[in-house]
Amino acid sequence: MKVKKLKFILKKIFNKYGLNDNHANISSEALINAELVGAHSHGLSRLKMYCDRIDKKVINPKPKIKIKKISHSISHIDADNCIGFVAADVGINIAIKNARKTGIGFVGVKNSGHYGLSGYYAERAVKKGLIAMIFTNAPPAIAPHGSLKSVFGTNPICFGSPTGSKIPFILDTSMSMINRGKIRVAARNNKKIPNGVALDKFGNLTNNPLKALAGVQLPIASYRGSGLAWMVDILSGVLTGSNHAGKVKDPFDDFTGPQNVGHLFITFKTNLFIKNYNNRIKENLRIIKNLPKIKGVKKILYPGQNKYKRFVMNSKKEIKLSKTIKKDLKFLNV
């Protein structure tokens, strides 16, 4: 389906579920971006979930978002349980605005929901010449090291930087071996997940996505990944006034109340300490990309290059829709 037609359908669906034109546009663009960069687990596969949560009144389609200005650099946002795309849009815009004025933007968000890809928002800051660090927590998926009970979410860490070229440096990675969205997509399509990424509820390795969802996802780098997930839970949950320590509700399965996800946006100018950042980052990339390569590797790529390539390539063609997605669109668009 062509992007323009898909966006029209998505906006129509979000309007139907009570979002105003601006919020429907923000949400539609975020979902389409996920498809274009190849992150299908964060794209259209989640559309029905957002609509179900609005329908169950655990996402507020008409929020009264409150912005508390703590200083010229720091702001605290109460998103009033709105759809996460809108909360993150407000958050990153204020962080960018603050950083351009003072050099640093520090914005905490509470009472939000799942907002899609962290890198999507980091790119917005990078396009304004800023460095960005973004943290968000999520429903329980990873157990603290030594525990069999999931408490931490996949809790992505995101870092973005200008590179002096049109392709930004964007590191956007979850703290789990595989992101939860990919497990859900596998479950919906009756496919197995890779070996070594999850345990069932009894602590046994499994490649069954349903058993993985009921069990524990394994963190990257063993106890180090668990520690990083804990750090993100503190920064985006404890610090912002959001749910934390396993209290973020699962958006697909738990309709007992809003998620109250927390986000933390940190943006800052590249010239805070030096005046020639662009030259220095170019030198950094050049040195590293020209290192000797192991057999079979043609190029050393920095984070963000592959995603940019996919975005450019996919923007030139229609977005492929699976049978499941077509069914969702038809059902939601009635």
pLDDT at 161 over 80: yes
Q: What is the pLDDT of residue 334?
A: 67
- Average pLDDT in the 292-306 region? 97
Strands 198-199 and 169-173 turn out to be unpaired
Q: What is the pLDDT of residue 185?
A: 87
Average pLDDT score over the chain: 96
Q: Is 148 left (phi over 0), alpha (psi -120 to 50) or beta?
A: alpha
pLDDT at 181 over 90: no
Q: Which amino acid is at 10?
A: L
Q: What is the pLDDT of residue 263?
A: 98
Strands 74-78 and 216-217 turn out to be unpaired
Query: How many angstroms separate the Cα of 231 from the Cα of each of 68, 155, 236?
Result: 24, 9, 9
pLDDT at 305 over 70: yes
Q: Which residues contact 251 (CB under 8 A, 6 or more apart)?
A: 46, 49, 50, 53, 113, 114, 139, 259
**pTM for this predicted structure:** 0.95
Q: Which residue has the tokens 């998103």?
A: 79
- Average pLDDT in the 66-89 region? 98
Asked if residues 176 and 220 have their Cβ atoms less than 8 Å apart, the reply is yes
Within a 10 A sphere around the Cβ of 200, how many other Cβ atoms?
Answer: 16
- Average pLDDT in the 246-264 region? 97
Q: What is the pLDDT of residue 312?
A: 96
Calpha distance 174→234 (Å, rounded): 15
- Average pLDDT in the 191-199 region? 94
Q: How many percent of the chain have pLDDT more than 90?
A: 96
Query: How many angstroms separate the Cα of 297 from the Cα of each of 160, 171, 301, 306, 307?
Result: 25, 20, 10, 14, 18
Burial of 93 (0-12, 13-18, 19+ CB in 10 A): middle
Identify the three-state secondary structure at position 44: helix
Strand ordering across the sheet containing 261-269 = 66-69, 74-78, 104-112, 261-269, 130-136, 157-161, 169-173
- Average pLDDT in the 26-40 region? 97
- Average pLDDT in the 176-198 region? 91
Per-residue pLDDT band for 295 (boundaries 50, 70, 90) equals very high
pLDDT at 90 over 90: yes
Q: What is the pLDDT of residue 135?
A: 98
